[in-house]
Structure 1
Amino acid sequence: MVPGLAQVSPPSTPTAPADTAHKFENPGGVPAVVKQPWYKGKLVRATIVPALLIGYGAYTFDGGGFYTNQEANRDIHKLFPTFRTRLDDILILAPYAELGLVALSGVESRNDRINVGLVVLKSELIMLTTVFAVKHLSRETRPDGSDKLSFPSGHTAQAFLAASIVHNEFRDKSQWYGIGAYTLATSVAALRMINNKHWQSDVVAGAGFGILSAHLGYLTHRNRWGRKPRLPEGMGFSPTWLPSYGLGTGGGLSGTPGFSFTWQPK
């Protein structure tokens, strides 16, 4: 300190009061859950491809579109004028055969067998209901004139439904399982047109209905059968003994067995 000069202290900065109103709102610093926009939701992602396929089928239905059903049918039968086969009736279930063979070979699927079976049953019910309802509403005549149940193709819907289930169950193991299943399904669609049983609009829309049915089967499958139920965190049950006041017949304390319920709020 220099003699004769007064010591000047630096000005103090005012301290803001501590914010205690929100101290317990997020003690762990966990980032808040960001809600995804609607167009990134599971339902939109599951339905966009089937919607495009069904939309194209409807666009080319009954002779519409830039490449009509009649033009496609003419070009197909220029390449295959006399070729006919029943192979499409066999290949319709080939993706399911692939599903079973891959599972039996030891490759683990995303879901256990019980839940895969439930998804298959639910998806089949959705597909059969929608396809046959649209068939009877559209009343489109087949290329060979055999009946008026052409739109959409049930064979194609069935094959693509099964292929979608194969893809969903084994895509984490290898994409080739799905590629093989979709190749079989596409072969069914092509053979339906070569056999003069369906127009191009029928098979494209049928593929959309099949994929959509499989996706809806998975999206609506919330309850997982064959798995032990889990209680919410903090809850529990345990056996207990409830003593009663007074003595039993043998001179000891009497009581009743029971269960105790515990809950620890978080």
Structure 2
Amino acid sequence: MRTFLITRFTAVMLLCGALQPALAQVNPTPTDTTKKYANPGGVSAPGNKPFFKSKLFKAVAIPAVLITYGAITAQGDAGINHREREFVQKQFRPVSTTLDNTFIFLPYVELGAVALAGVESRNDRINTLLIIAKGEAIMLASTFAVKYLANETRPNGSDNLSFPSGHTAQAFLAASIVHTEFRDKSQWYGVGAYTIATSVAALRMINDKHWQSDVVAGAGFGILSAHLAYLSHRNRWGRKSIGRDVSMTPAYLGTGASGVSLSWRPTK
């Protein structure tokens, strides 16, 4: 009898040992499924971009360098300003100031001419005008505030509003807008606009209106104003383009005279 019980007990223990792996497979440990749709693609969430790769850093980096350089070298008729003024006076004669006052708007003329030629800009006409207005407001407010705070005397001694150069700031603001609007089409539009702006800076020094530090800082203020205008332009008006179908083609009249035909078809 004792042998029979031992045999039965041994058989039961062996049977339980054989069934345990099977039971473990039938009733697996439950897993947490509350977050199974949080990341369905299995791709890890991107981390924050480094500051030097942010839009704000890219917008202010170059203008900050130009403005800082201009502020450090703004020493009146001393240091590098004195040397650059002597070099300019030896190499160039004063030019009519009419060119200074005219060239500052030439980048905007280029902007309008390229748009009329049918080249599609980054923004439509309304938003481009809003960006220009915003950039002009930022540029005028910042440059004139610094002019009165710096109280820097001009090389010709006419007043104490030398630093920074407002003409240069205006020209580089317009050039930056031209570059931003058409850089996806061709970089040469920006090259032409910045060449005009650099010419304005040179003319201001040739005419003895500004020191070198003034025009360098003025370029920084102009570029910074354009970048800030674009960064702050989040809510776009008229999301559909308005008046993009503008073209300008040569025209020949029956009398033998030639001219230009301008066509415009507003978009719906």
Q: How many residues align?
A: 217
Give runs of aligned pairs for residues 84-233 of structure 1, distance below 5 A: 84-86=95-97, 87-227=99-239
Task: Report the secondary structure of 1:145's partner residue.
Answer: coil
| Alignment match, 2:45 | 32
Name the CA distance, whole Å, in 2 between partners of 1:84 and 1:25. Answer: 68
| Alignment match, 1:241 | none
Report the CA distance between 1:35 and its aligned residue. 1.8
Amino acid across the alignment from 1:194: I
- Is contact 2:107–2:171 with CA below 8 Å preserved after alignment? yes
| Alignment match, 1:41 | 54
Of the candidates 61, 65, 69, which is equivalent to residue 52 of structure 1? 65
| Alignment match, 2:84 | 72
Report the CA distance between 1:83 and its aligned residue. 3.2
Name the CA distance, whole Å, in 2 between partners of 1:70 and 1:201. Answer: 11
Name the CA distance, whole Å, in 2 between partners of 1:31 and 1:185. Answer: 46
Report the CA distance between 1:178 and its aligned residue. 0.3
Amino acid across the alignment from 1:22: K
Report the CA distance between 1:27 and its aligned residue. 2.0
| Alignment match, 1:231 | none
Task: Report the secondary structure of 2:189's partner residue.
Answer: helix
- Is contact 2:76–2:211 with CA below 8 Å preserved after alignment? no
Name the CA distance, whole Å, in 2 between partners of 1:146 and 1:214. Answer: 29
Amino acid across the alignment from 2:64: A
Report the CA distance between 1:30 and its aligned residue. 4.8
Amino acid across the alignment from 1:92: I
Amino acid across the alignment from 1:78: K
Amino acid across the alignment from 2:190: G
| Alignment match, 1:261 | none
Q: After superposition, give the CA deviation of every residue in 1:7-39 in whole Å (9 maximum; x if it has no partner).
A: xx9xx8x88855534322112445523321122
What TM-score, normalized by structure 2, do the two folds share?
A: 0.76
Name the CA distance, whole Å, in 2 between partners of 1:117 and 1:83. Answer: 35
Name the CA distance, whole Å, in 2 between partners of 1:207 and 1:46. Answer: 14
Instruction: Determine what percentage of the aligned residue pairs are the same residue.
Output: 65
Amino acid across the alignment from 1:99: L
Q: After superposition, give the CA deviation of every residue in 1:106-144 in whole Å (9 maximum; x if it has no partner).
A: 000000000000000000000000000000111111011
Amino acid across the alignment from 2:95: R
Long gaps (5+) in structure 1: 1-8, 229-266
Name the CA distance, whole Å, in 2 between partners of 1:128 and 1:140. Answer: 17
Task: Report the secondary structure of 1:34's partner residue.
Answer: coil
Long gaps (5+) in structure 2: 1-17, 241-268
Counting helix residues as a fraction of each chain, which structure ranks higher? 2
Q: After superposition, give the CA deviation of every residue in 1:179-205 in whole Å (9 maximum; x if it has no partner).
A: 000000000000000000000000000
Name the CA distance, whole Å, in 2 between partners of 1:31 and 1:226. Answer: 37
Name the CA distance, whole Å, in 2 between partners of 1:137 and 1:83. Answer: 28
**Measured at CA, do residues 43 and 64 of structure 1 come closer, stay the same or move farther in structure 2, by a change above 3 Å?**
farther
| Aligned-pair Cα RMSD in Å | 2.2
